[in-house]
C-alpha cells in the first residue's frame, strides 16, 4: 500500500460537526442498533437538514465480546471454536486465517487435499455471503423479492455446509493441521445441483435488479468513492475494485490454491453503489466457476489432516506472523504473536468492515439523502460483528 | 326518519360490510401472491382478521394530545366517506350508496382528507420518524394529485358530468365505451396516480421501513393501529371501486365488481413486486412529469 496522504474532512463534513441544533434547522436522528436499515449491531447518529445528511457518526460497541483478549487466556486449540464467531455471515475466513497463522509459527505442513477442501469451503462461504448481501442491497431499496430469493439460495449453500461440517452458520471445519472431515458421499453432485440453481437465479436477478430503471436511479451516483480515498482510507475488496483498483489478495499474494485456479479480478470505474453491486454480482459468477473447478480438479483421496501434538500441552515457538486472505468485503488479516507458551501472546484481527463501516461511512454519507443511508451502508458490505473483536 | 332514508342507511351499512371484508381478503390475497413470488407460502387468508381483532383489543397508556387520538379517526372517516359516495354496483338500489350529482368532487376531497388528518395526528406524536413520514407522504400526495385530478377533469369534460353514476352510464353498451378505450391517456394517468395513492412500490418510501421512517404508523399502535387497518381495507375497496366506475365501465353485479377490481389491484401488486422504491423527490419528479403529461394528453382528447 502506498503512503497516500490522509484526506481531510470535506467542507461539508466539517460544517456538519459544527451544526447548532438549537437553531431549529437541523434534526438529530438515530438509525439503529435496532432498525431494518442497519446492517448488524451498530447505530448511526444522523444530523439532517431537511432530507440531507449534514453529519453522520457511527456507534459500535453493542456486540463487543472481547474475543482478542479471550484468546490470550486460552490454549491454541481452545481458541478454534471462538474465531469463527468473529464474523457471523462468513466465519470460514477466521478459521482459515487463524489456522494458517498457527501452522506457520508451529511449522506444520497441511496435506494437499486439505488445502483443496479449505479452498472449497472458503469459496462456498463467499457464495453464501454474497447471496445474503444481494438480499440486503435490494432490500435496502425496497425490493424484497430479490432479498427472499437470495436468502433462499443461501440456505441451499448452508445445507451443503451442514452436510460437510454439521453446522449451518458456524462450521468449525478448518482447524490447525487440516480440515475436520471428508466430503460426504454424493456431496459433489449435490453441490453442483446447488450451483446450477444459483446460476439460474443470477439470470433472474440480473434482469430484475441491474436492468431495473428504478434501481439504476437509486444506485447510480450514490456514494461515489474517489479513487484517491482508496489507499488513505485502507479500502479493499469490491469497494476498491469498483473504483478501478484491481487489488485482490487471491491474485496479489495467492494463498491456498488460488494460483492454480482460473479467475479474473473484476473491476469497474464508476465507484458508486451500482458499480459496487455489479462487481459483487460478477464475483458471484466467479465464485460459482471456482467451486466447479475445485470439485473437478480436487484429488479424490488423500490425507486431510496432519497429526498434531497433544493439544493440552501444545506449545508454539516464539514468533509473530501476519496472514491475509480475500473475503467478500476485502482484505481479512490475522496477526498472531507467540511467546513460546501454550497460549497466544496476542491475536489481532483485521476485518475490512472496521474501515468501511466507520471511517468510510461517516465520510460518504454527508450530503446524501436520509432515504439512501441503508442502501449506502449495504453497498459497502459491512458486518459489524467483525468490527468488535 | 323516513323509511327510505332508514333503508338507504341499512343498504350503505351492508355495502360497507361487504367492502370491508372484500378489502381484507384482497389484502391477504395480495400478501400471499407477493409471498409466492418470493418463494414463500405467505399468511393464511384470515390472518388480517386476527390482527385487527388483536390490535383493537389492546389499550394504550400513552397520550400525545387530542390531535393524536383524532388522527386515525380522521383517517377512517376519509376511508368510509370516500366509500359511501361511490356507487358500488351500477343500477342497484341496495349498493348505490349516497351517490349524487356532484359526488366526484366530494370523493376527490375525501380521498385526501384522511391523509391530512393522519398528518396532523402523527405530527402531534413528536417522533421524528413520524414527521419525516408525514412530510414525505404529503409531498408525494401533492404530486400524484396533479395527474389524478387531470384525469378526473378529462372524464368530467368528456362525459359532461360530475356524477360518478352518469360517468358509468356513459360507458355502458359495450367494452369499447369504457373510458379505458375512449380516453386511454386519462386512464393511464389515473392508474399511475393510483400506484402513488396505494403507496406500494415504487412509491412506498412514505412507509419504507429501511429508509428511516415507517411513516406515521410508527407512533400508532394497539387500537389506533386496529382502526388504521380497518380503514386500509375499506379505503382500498373504495379506491378500486372508484377506478372501476370511472375507467372500466363500472359493475352491474358483485361478481363483475370483484373480477374487475381484483384485476385493477393486480396492476399495483405486479408493479410492486417488480420494482424497488423511488426516493420521495424522485417520486415527485416522476409524478409531475410522466403521468402529468399523459393526463394533459387525456384532457386534450376529452376536449377534442
Q: Could you give the angle at the alpha carbon of B13 between the alpha carbons of B8 and B15, nearest 5°? A: 95
For residue A16, being part of any structural domain is answered with no
A38 Cβ under 8 Å from any chain B Cβ: no
Give the confidence band of A9 by pLDDT, cuts at 50, 70, 90: very low
Inter-chain CB proximity A37 and B211 less than 8 Å: yes
CA distance B161 to chain A (A): 38
Q: In what order do the strands lie in the sheet with A52-59?
A: A27-31, A43-49, A52-59
CA separation for the pair A20, B154 (Å, rounded): 50
* Cβ-based burial of B249 (10 A; exposed 0-12, middle 13-18, buried ≥19): buried
Question: What is each CA distance from A70 to A80, A312, A333, A341, B182, in whole angstroms?
Answer: 12, 17, 18, 16, 75
CA separation for the pair A133, A129 (Å, rounded): 6
Nearest to B269 by CA among B241, B236, B223, B230: B236
CA separation for the pair B7, A385 (Å, rounded): 65
Q: How many domains, chain B?
A: 1
Q: How many CA atoms lie within 13 A of B222 on its CB side?
A: 8
Inter-chain CB proximity B278 and A217 less than 8 Å: yes
- Cβ atoms of A303 and A109 within 8 Å: the answer is no
**Preferred mutation among A27, A142, A374 to probe B, highest tally of B CBs within 10 A:** A142
For chain B, which residues score pLDDT lower than 50?
none
CA separation for the pair A130, B254 (Å, rounded): 49
> Cis (ω within 30 of 0) for the bond into B202?
yes
Give the pLDDT confidence score for residue A197 in this predicted structure. Answer: 96
CA separation for the pair B302, B184 (Å, rounded): 10
Question: What is each CA distance from B74 to A8, A238, A301, B228, in whole angstroms?
Answer: 51, 50, 73, 10
pLDDT beyond 60 at A12: no
CA separation for the pair B118, B226 (Å, rounded): 14
Torsion of CA A119, A123, A125, A130, to 10 degrees: 160
Task: Say which of A27, A51, A212 has its CB closest to residue B128.
Answer: A27
Chain A, 63 to 122: residues with Cβ < 8 Å from chain B are none
Task: Say which of B37, B40, B204 has its CB closest to residue A142.
Answer: B204
Determine the structural domain holding residue A260 and report its residue range. Answer: 67-352+370-375
Element (H, E) at A27: strand A27-31
How far does CA A41 lie from the centroid of its chain? 15
Give the pLDDT confidence score for residue A341 in this predicted structure. Answer: 92
Task: Say which of A27, A37, A372 has its CB closest to residue B279.
Answer: A372
Determine the structural domain holding residue B272 and report its residue range. Answer: 3-303
Q: Residue B270's closest chain A neighbor by CA?
A: A145
Taking each helix axis from N to C end, the angle separating B222-247 and B103-125, rounded to the nearest 10 degrees, works out to 160
Inter-chain CB proximity A214 and B280 less than 8 Å: no
CA separation for the pair A343, A251 (Å, rounded): 33
- Mind listing the pLDDT tens digit for each residue in A342-377? 999 999 999 999 889 998 999 999 999 988 999 999
pLDDT beyond 60 at A16: no
DSSP state letter for A207: I
Q: What percent of chain A has pLDDT over 70?
A: 95
* Residues of B in Cβ contact (< 8 Å) with A141: 210, 276-277
CA separation for the pair B151, B243 (Å, rounded): 11
- Mind listing the pLDDT tens digit for each residue in A115-170? 999 999 999 999 999 999 999 999 999 898 999 999 999 999 999 999 999 999 99
Q: Which ipTM value was assigned to this complex?
A: 0.86
Inter-chain CB proximity B201 and A143 less than 8 Å: yes
* Cβ-based burial of A299 (10 A; exposed 0-12, middle 13-18, buried ≥19): exposed
DSSP state letter for A111: P
Give the pLDDT confidence score for residue A41 in this predicted structure. Answer: 85
Give me the total of CB pairs closer than 8 Å, taking one residue from chain A and one from chain B: 88
* Residues of B in Cβ contact (< 8 Å) with A31: 212
For residue A125, being part of any structural domain is answered with yes
- Mind listing the pLDDT tens digit for each residue in A59-80? 998 888 899 999 999 999 999 9
* Residues of A in Cβ contact (< 8 Å) with B37: 145
Task: Say which of A152, A214, A371 has its CB closest to residue B211.
Answer: A371
CA distance B3 to chain A (A): 52
* Bridge partners of residue A321, in order along the sequence: A336
pLDDT beyond 70 at A1: no
For residue A271, being part of any structural domain is answered with yes
Task: Say which of B38, B132, B282 has its CB closest to residue A144.
Answer: B38
Give the pLDDT confidence score for residue B52 in this predicted structure. Answer: 94
For residue A358, being part of any structural domain is answered with no
CA separation for the pair A196, B269 (Å, rounded): 30
Give the pLDDT confidence score for residue A154 in this predicted structure. Answer: 96
A201 Cβ under 8 Å from any chain B Cβ: no
Q: Residue B200's closest chain A neighbor by CA?
A: A142
Contacts of B300 (CB under 8 A, 6+ apart): none
pLDDT beyond 80 at A176: yes
* Residues of B in Cβ contact (< 8 Å) with A215: 276
What CATH number did the domain enclosing A164 receive? 1.10.645.10
Mind giving me the DSSP string for A224-250? Answer: ---TTHHHHTT--THHHHTTT----HH
Inter-chain CB proximity B211 and A144 less than 8 Å: no
A34 Cβ under 8 Å from any chain B Cβ: no
Give the pLDDT confidence score for residue B208 in this predicted structure. Answer: 80
Neighbours of B1 (CB within 10 A): 6
Inter-chain CB proximity A142 and B282 less than 8 Å: no
**Preferred mutation among A145, A207, A221, A376 to probe B, highest tally of B CBs within 10 A:** A145
Give the pLDDT confidence score for residue A7 in this predicted structure. Answer: 43
Q: Residue A36's closest chain B neighbor by CA?
A: B210
Greater model confidence, A98 or A20: A98
* Residues of A in Cβ contact (< 8 Å) with B279: 51, 218, 369, 371-372
* Residues of B in Cβ contact (< 8 Å) with A144: 34, 38
**Preferred mutation among A36, A141, A150 to probe B, highest tally of B CBs within 10 A:** A141
Q: Residue A143's closest chain B neighbor by CA?
A: B276
Q: In what order do the strands lie in the sheet with A330-338?
A: A319-327, A330-338, A344-350
Give the pLDDT confidence score for residue B121 in this predicted structure. Answer: 81
CA distance B143 to chain A (A): 17
Taking each helix axis from N to C end, the angle separating B66-84 and B222-247, rounded to the nearest 10 degrees, works out to 30
Give the confidence band of A4 by pLDDT, cuts at 50, 70, 90: very low
Taking each helix axis from N to C end, the angle separating B254-274 and B184-198, rounded to the nearest 10 degrees, works out to 70
For residue A42, being part of any structural domain is answered with no
* Residues of A in Cβ contact (< 8 Å) with B201: 142-143
pLDDT beyond 50 at A105: yes
- Cβ atoms of A8 and A17 within 8 Å: the answer is no
Look at residue A48 and give its three-state secondary structure. Answer: strand
Chain B, 108 to 147: residues with Cβ < 8 Å from chain A are 128-129, 131-132
- Mind listing the pLDDT tens digit for each residue in B86-135? 999 998 989 988 888 888 888 888 888 888 887 888 777 777 777 778 88
Nearest to B197 by CA among B142, B252, B258, B126: B142
Inter-chain CB proximity A51 and B40 less than 8 Å: no
Q: How many domains, chain A?
A: 1
Mean pLDDT of chain A: 90
pLDDT beyond 90 at A10: no
For residue A17, being part of any structural domain is answered with no
B41 Cβ under 8 Å from any chain A Cβ: no
CA distance B279 to chain A (A): 7
B207 Cβ under 8 Å from any chain A Cβ: no
* Residues of A in Cβ contact (< 8 Å) with B212: 29, 31, 37, 370-371, 373-374
Amino acid at each position: 500500500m502506498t503512503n497516500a496522504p490522509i484526506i481531510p474532512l470535506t467542507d461539508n463534513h466539517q460544517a456538519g460537526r459544527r451544526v447548532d441544533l438549537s437553531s431549529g434547522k437541523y434534526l438529530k436522528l438515530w438509525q439503529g442498533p435496532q432498525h431494518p436499515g442497519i446492517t448488524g449491531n451498530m447505530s448511526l447518529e444522523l444530523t439532517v437538514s431537511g432530507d440531507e445528511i449534514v453529519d453522520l457518526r457511527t456507534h459500535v460497541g453493542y456486540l463487543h465480546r472481547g474475543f482478542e483478549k479471550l484468546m490470550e487466556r486460552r490454549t491454541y486449540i481452545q481458541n478454534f471454536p471462538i474465531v469463527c464467531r468473529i464474523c457471523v455471515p462468513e466465519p470460514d475466513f477466521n478459521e482459515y486465517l487463524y489456522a494458517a497463522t498457527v501452522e506457520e509459527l508451529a511449522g506444520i505442513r497441511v496435506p494437499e487435499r486439505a488445502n483443496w477442501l479449505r479452498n472449497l469451503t472458503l469459496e462456498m462461504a463467499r457464495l453464501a455471503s454474497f447471496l445474503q448481501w444481494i438480499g440486503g442491497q435490494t432490500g435496502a431499496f425496497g425490493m424484497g423479492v430479490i432479498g427472499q430469493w437470495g436468502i433462499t439460495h443461501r440456505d441451499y449453500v448452508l445445507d451443503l455446509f451442514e452436510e460437510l461440517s454439521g453446522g449451518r452458520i458456524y462450521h468449525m471445519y478448518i482447524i490447525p493441521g487440516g480440515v475436520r472431515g471428508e466430503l460426504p458421499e454424493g456431496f459433489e453432485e449435490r453441490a453442483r445441483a446447488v450451483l446450477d440453481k444459483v446460476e439460474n437465479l443470477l439470470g433472474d436477478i440480473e434482469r430484475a435488479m441491474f436492468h431495473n430503471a428504478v434501481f439504476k436511479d437509486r444506485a447510480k451516483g450514490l456514494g461515489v468513492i474517489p479513487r484517491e480515498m482508496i489507499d488513505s482510507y485502507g479500502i479493499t475488496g469490491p469497494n476498491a475494485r469498483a473504483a478501478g483498483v484491481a487489488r485482490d489478495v487471491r491474485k496479489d499474494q495467492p494463498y491456498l490454491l488460488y494460483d492454480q485456479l482460473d479467475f479474473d479480478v473484476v473491476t469497474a470505474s464508476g465507484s458508486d453503489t451500482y458499480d459496487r453491486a455489479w462487481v459483487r454480482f460478477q464475483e458471484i459468477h466467479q465464485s460459482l466457476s471456482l467451486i466447479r473447478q475445485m470439485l473437478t480438479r480436487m484429488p479424490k483421496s488423500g490425507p486431510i489432516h496432519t497429526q498434531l501434538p497433544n493439544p493440552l500441552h501444545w506449545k508454539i515457538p516464539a514468533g509473530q506472523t501476519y496472514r491475509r486472505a480475500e473475503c467478500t468485503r476485502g482484505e481479512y488479516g490475522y496477526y498472531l504473536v507467540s511467546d513460546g507458551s501454550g497460549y497466544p501472546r496476542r491475536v489481532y484481527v483485521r476485518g475490512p468492515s472496521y474501515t468501511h463501516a466507520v471511517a468510510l461511512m461517516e465520510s460518504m454519507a454527508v450530503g446524501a439523502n436520509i432515504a439512501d443511508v441503508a442502501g449506502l451502508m449495504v453497498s459497502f458490505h459491512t458486518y459489524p460483528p467483525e468490527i468488535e473483536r | 326518519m323516513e323509511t327510505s332514508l332508514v333503508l338507504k342507511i341499512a343498504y350503505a351499512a351492508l355495502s360497507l360490510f361487504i367492502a370491508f371484508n372484500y378489502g381484507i381478503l384482497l389484502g391477504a390475497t395480495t400478501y400471499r401472491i407477493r409471498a409466492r413470488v418470493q418463494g414463500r407460502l405467505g399468511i393464511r387468508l384470515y390472518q388480517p382478521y386476527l390482527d385487527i381483532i388483536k390490535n383493537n383489543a389492546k389499550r394504550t397508556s400513552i397520550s400525545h394530545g387530542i390531535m393524536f387520538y383524532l388522527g386515525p379517526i380522521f383517517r377512517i372517516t376519509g376511508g368510509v366517506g370516500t366509500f359511501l359516495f361511490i356507487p358500488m354496483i351500477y343500477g342497484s338500489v341496495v349498493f348505490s350508496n349516497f351517490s349524487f350529482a356532484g359526488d366526484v368532487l366530494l370523493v376527490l376531497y375525501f380521498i385526501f382528507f384522511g391523509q391530512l388528518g393522519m398528518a396532523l395526528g402523527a405530527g402531534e406524536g413528536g417522533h421524528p420518524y413520524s414527521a419525516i413520514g408525514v412530510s414525505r407522504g404529503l409531498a408525494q400526495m401533492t404530486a400524484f394529485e396533479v395527474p389524478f385530478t387531470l384525469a378526473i377533469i378529462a372524464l368530467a369534460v368528456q362525459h359532461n358530468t360530475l356524477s360518478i353514476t352518469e360517468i358509468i352510464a356513459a360507458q355502458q353498451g359495450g367494452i369499447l365505451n369504457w373510458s379505458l378505450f375512449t380516453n386511454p391517456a386519462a386512464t393511464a394517468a389515473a392508474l399511475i396516480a393510483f400506484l402513488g395513492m396505494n403507496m406500494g412500490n415504487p412509491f412506498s418510501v412514505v412507509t419504507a421501513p429501511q429508509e428511516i421512517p415507517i411513516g406515521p404508523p410508527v407512533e400508532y399502535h394497539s387500537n389506533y393501529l386496529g382502526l388504521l387497518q380497518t380503514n386500509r381495507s375499506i379505503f382500498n375497496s373504495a379506491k378500486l371501486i372508484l377506478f372501476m366506475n370511472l375507467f372500466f365501465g363500472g359493475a352491474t353485479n358483485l361478481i363483475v365488481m370483484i373480477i374487475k377490481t381484483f384485476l385493477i389491484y393486480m396492476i399495483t401488486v405486479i408493479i410492486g413486486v417488480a420494482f424497488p422504491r423511488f426516493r420521495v423527490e424522485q417520486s415527485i419528479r416522476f409524478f409531475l412529469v410522466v403521468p402529468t403529461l399523459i393526463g394533459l394528453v387525456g384532457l386534450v382528447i376529452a376536449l377534442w
